[in-house]
Structures are given as C-alpha cells and as structure tokens.
Amino acid sequence: MIVDFGYYIIIGIVALISSAVSNSLKKKFDKYSRIRLRNGMSGAEIAEKMLADHGIYDVKVISTPGKLTDHYNPQNKTVNLSQVVYHERNAAAAAVAAHEVGHAVQHARAYKWLTMRSNIVPLVGVASKFSNILIMVGLVLGLTSSFGYLVLSAGVGLFGITTLFSFVTLPVEYDASNRALAWLKNKNMVTREELAGAQDALKAAAKTYLVAALGSLAMLLYWVMKLMAANRDD
C-alpha cells in the first residue's frame, strides 16, 4: 500500500475546511432569511420575473424538497427551488432564486463554461463511479506490479476528470451569481441592505465550490506524486 500519513492529512484538512464553510453558509442563509424583502415577493416570484425580464418563457419554476437543494436542470428546463426559497420573502430567498435563474440565462445564452460543463457530465458520471475503485485496486495490487501501476494510473486519470469538472464549475457558479446580483440591482428589486445580504450569501455559497475544487486538486496532486515516485523507483 502506498497510502501514507500525508493522505490522511489532506483528507482531514479538506473535511475540516468543508465543514467550516458549510456551517458558515447555513448561518448566513439563516441570517439573511430574517431580512424580509420590502417588495414582498417570494423566491418563486423573483425567479419568474427574472426569467420574464430575460425573455425566457420555456423554463418552469418548481418547488423541490429539502434545504439548500436549489438547482437548475437544463434537461427539463426547470428552476428547482427548495421550499424555504420558493415560498419565503427574504433576502436569502431572493439571492438563491436569482442565482438559479442565472443558470437558466446561461443556458439560454449558450454560456461557454456551462456548455463545457454539460458536455463533460457523462464522463464525470463514469469517472466518479470508477476512479476510487481503480485506485484502491491499484493499491492492493501494488505499484511494483506493472499491472497495478497501470490500474492506479487509470484511476488517477479518471479522478483528474472529476477535478477538471470541479474547476469548470467555478466560473459557471460565479457568473450565475454575478448575473443574479446585477439583475437585482439594475431592476431595483431589492434595497441596498437587501442587496448586501444577497451578495454576502452568494459569496458564502461560492466558497463551497472553491473548497471542493481545491480539495479535489490536492488529492489529485497527491496521487500524481505517488505515481511519479513509483516510476522513479523502477
């Protein structure tokens, strides 16, 4: 086995940072959920108006179970808002709803990073399913075996695809937030205080994607260095 103490250090650090960022996001969402929108609109109404303002009429806004489960589905063209976002009338709900519509706008405008991410989704499905399996099998076989080295290399290659996906996701998420905030401000949908809350909430959400990408990169580099070390030993 080539897994050493460094592996567990990386896992531990990423887990701690991810937990801290996730807790921060939840606290900010709860904080800005207490800032009621002066215009009295719900998250669903915000989403529908933003879609209409961008001339998008073939996307439906629907409610989905859970908390922070909001997402845009490009396959069936639906903006899926969690129940607290769909029904509530506060700065957090406005931020999340507008952000998800931002993805719908990206889709309608053929935003290049969203198109790229969509194109590699099938590969990511395969990679995420088999990368860890191949890595573990390669470790069991051992790097002294040429077959074990080959299997581990294949696993690391697949893991690289998931890492690439996490980095392609970053501009997609940041752009969606920028579109959301620009619309909220330019259309005077929120007050200055509400806009500041929406911006802070979306920044916190963006950090979760950044941490995930950097954590994936750190793990990829770990495996690559192990492969390089094993290759030098041959």
Q: What is the pLDDT of residues 73-125, one digit of tens each?
A: 999 999 999 999 999 999 999 999 999 999 999 999 999 999 999 999 999 99
In whole angstroms, give the CA distance from residue 225 to residue 230: 9
Residue 45 annotated to the active site: no
Which pTM value belongs to this model? 0.90
Q: What is the pLDDT of residue 67?
A: 84
Which pLDDT band holds residue 145 (cuts at 50, 70, 90)? confident
| Among 105, 99, 111, residue whose Cα is nearest residue 202 | 99
CB proximity list for 224: less than 8 A, separation 6 or greater: 156
**Catalytic residue selected from 100, 173, 193, 194:** 100
Average pLDDT, the chain: 93
- How high is the pLDDT of residue 144? 75
Nearest-angstrom CA–CA distance, 198 and 193: 9
